[in-house]
């Protein structure tokens, strides 16, 4: 468990390092995710070396963003002031994105 | 008393207890609206209101929990690698569908917000609304929106997709299970994926992978698409 956690932290650290020094508009943890994926893909690291900690983190993923959900209370007035455009945009865009993805997949799958 | 609530252990314990209780509630009432993040956040906000504690005080402890968002996004890369094997046969159409659907999600939400005259800060906060919360929060930090607004709306997006996605797809003639799974993961991230797993195991796997891929696509493209769309409003 500890070894796999160190691996995950090292990839996160590397991602943050790249983000900091290259100043690209991609978050360090997303760079870390891409790097660990590539490292596994090209067999630079072994799946069993990173699996214990990564399974744990993915399992409890939702716990880690609860504080952000609570933080919404600070900004509730902004959402309340613009609830109509926000609702319209979120509902239509979500259903549109779901439909377009599903329709394209189904169409291509038939061939 | 305020100094007591400012101890890190308060925010940490409160968050974990709220999450634990949300699980008990979910067992009793299995509705989408009893989403565990939503219920946990409401429970915590209620406690903060009752004891008149501000968010900053709570966050003295809660920030140690949200720290783990970073490593858990890296862990999604491991998940992606593990599951990729299962879609290998359909990889090309899978990638095309997620790519187009993901971009439609970014463009449409920003376009609707701009057309309805919502302030720019909301567009900056919602561009990544379809991707999994930890990735969406990071994207919002880059696009200079408000991560807390992102987190709230992302969860609502997930609940919408979970509750109405399958019905809409069915009504519009999308019945292929892999297509439904891919669509739910692309448009409604992990909460949509939970629904896809109820449809079938393969729909669930496709959905989970679509969630990861759309997270990557949106992280790479949302800042540029947003800047481009907002350039028309100036």
Q: Are residues A72 and A57 in the same domain?
A: no
Q: Kindly state the DSSP code that residue B147 receives in the 8-state scheme.
A: H
Residue B29 pLDDT:
86
Q: Are residues B55 and B165 in the same domain?
A: no
Q: Are residues B170 and B218 in the same domain?
A: yes
Assess A15–B contact: CB distance below 8 Å, yes or no: yes
- Tell me the C-alpha distance between B232 and B218, whole Å: 21
Residue where one domain finishes, among candidates B43, B67, B91: B67
Q: Are residues A83 and A107 in the same domain?
A: yes
Supply the range of the domain harboring residue A20.
1-63
In order of B122, B127, B195, B225, B227, the CA distances from B232 in angstroms are 16, 16, 37, 12, 9
Q: Are residues B32 and B136 in the same domain?
A: no
How many CA atoms lie within 13 Å of B206's alpha carbon, on the beta-carbon side?
31
When pLDDT is cut at 50, 70 and 90, the band that residue A41 belongs to is: very high
Assess A21–B contact: CB distance below 8 Å, yes or no: no
When pLDDT is cut at 50, 70 and 90, the band that residue A59 belongs to is: confident
Arithmetic mean of pLDDT, A30-37: 94
Assess A32–B contact: CB distance below 8 Å, yes or no: yes
When pLDDT is cut at 50, 70 and 90, the band that residue A111 belongs to is: low
Mean pLDDT by 10 residues, chain B (234 residues): 90 97 90 84 96 95 94 92 88 96 97 95 96 93 95 91 93 96 95 90 92 94 94 81
Q: CB distance B101–A51 less than 8 Å?
A: no
Q: Are residues B86 and B8 in the same domain?
A: no
- Which residue in A4, A101, A109 has the most chain B C-beta atoms within 10 A of its own C-beta, making it the best mutation to test that interface? A101
Picking from B196, B218, B179, B190, the residue whose alpha carbon sits closest to that of residue B87 is B179
Assess B112–A contact: CB distance below 8 Å, yes or no: yes
Q: Are residues B85 and B62 in the same domain?
A: no
Task: Give the A window 39-98 contacts with B, CB below 8 Å.
Answer: 40-41, 47, 50-51, 53-55, 57-58, 60-75, 78-79, 82, 84-86, 88-98
ipTM of the predicted assembly exceeds 0.95 = no
Between B112, B139, B150, which is nearest A93 by CB?
A: B112
Q: Are residues B13 and B98 in the same domain?
A: no
Q: How many domains does chain B have?
A: 2
Q: How far apart are the first and last CA of chain A?
A: 45
- Tell me the C-alpha distance between B64 and A4, whole Å: 20
Residue A27 pLDDT:
87
Q: Are residues A5 and A56 in the same domain?
A: yes
Arithmetic mean of pLDDT, A67-85: 91
Q: Kindly state the DSSP code that residue A72 receives in the 8-state scheme.
A: G
- Tell me the C-alpha distance between B73 and A18, whole Å: 16
Supply φ then ψ for residue B62, to 5 degrees. Answer: -60, -25
Q: Are residues B83 and B60 in the same domain?
A: no
Assess A24–B contact: CB distance below 8 Å, yes or no: no
Assess A35–B contact: CB distance below 8 Å, yes or no: yes
Supply the range of the domain harboring residue B33.
2-67
Task: Name the minimum distance, in Å, from the CA of A77 to any CA of chain B.
Answer: 11
Task: Name the minimum distance, in Å, from the CA of A27 to any CA of chain B.
Answer: 6
Assess A31–B contact: CB distance below 8 Å, yes or no: no
Picking from A77, A88, A78, A98, the residue whose alpha carbon sits closest to that of residue B109 is A88
Q: How many domains does chain A have?
A: 2
Q: Are residues A1 and A50 in the same domain?
A: yes
Q: Are residues A1 and A39 in the same domain?
A: yes
Q: Are residues A30 and A78 in the same domain?
A: no
Q: Are residues A85 and A74 in the same domain?
A: yes
């Amino acid at each position: 468990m500890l070894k796999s956690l160190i691996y995950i932290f090292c990839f996160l650290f590397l991602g943050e390092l790249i983000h900091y020094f290259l100043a690209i508009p991609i978050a360090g943890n997303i760079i870390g995710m891409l790097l660990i994926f590539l490292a596994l893909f090209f067999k630079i690291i072994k799946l069993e070396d990173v699996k214990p900690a990564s399974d744990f983190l993915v399992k409890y993923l939702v716990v880690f963003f609860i504080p952000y959900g609570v933080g919404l209370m600070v900004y509730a007035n902004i959402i309340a002031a613009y609830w109509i455009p926000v609702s319209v945009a979120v509902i239509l865009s979500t259903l549109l994105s779901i439909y377009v993805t599903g329709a394209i997949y189904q169409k291509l799958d038939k061939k | 008393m305020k100094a007591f609530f400012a101890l890190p252990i308060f925010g940490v314990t409160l968050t974990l207890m709220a999450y634990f209780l949300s699980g008990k509630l979910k067992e009793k009432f299995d509705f989408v609206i009893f989403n565990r993040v939503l219920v946990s956040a409401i429970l915590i906000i209620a406690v903060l209101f009752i004891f008149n504690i501000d968010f900053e005080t709570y966050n003295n402890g809660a920030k140690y929990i949200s720290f783990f968002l970073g490593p858990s996004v890296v862990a999604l890369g491991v998940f992606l690698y593990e599951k990729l094997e299962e879609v290998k046969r359909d990889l090309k159409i899978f990638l095309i569908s997620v790519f187009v659907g993901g971009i439609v999600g970014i463009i449409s939400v920003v376009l609707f917000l701009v057309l309805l005259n919502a302030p720019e800060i909301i567009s900056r906060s919602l561009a990544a609304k379809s991707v999994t919360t930890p990735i969406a929060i990071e994207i919002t930090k880059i696009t200079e929106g408000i991560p807390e607004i992102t987190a709230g709306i992302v969860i609502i997006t997930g609940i919408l997709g979970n509750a109405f996605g399958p019905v809409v797809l069915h009504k519009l003639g999308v019945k292929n299970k892999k297509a439904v799974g891919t669509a739910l993961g692309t448009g409604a991230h992990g909460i949509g994926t939970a629904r896809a797993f109820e449809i079938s195991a393969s729909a669930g796997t496709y959905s989970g992978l679509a969630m990861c891929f759309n997270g990557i696509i949106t992280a790479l493209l949302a800042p540029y698409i947003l800047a481009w769309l907002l350039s028309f409003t100036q």
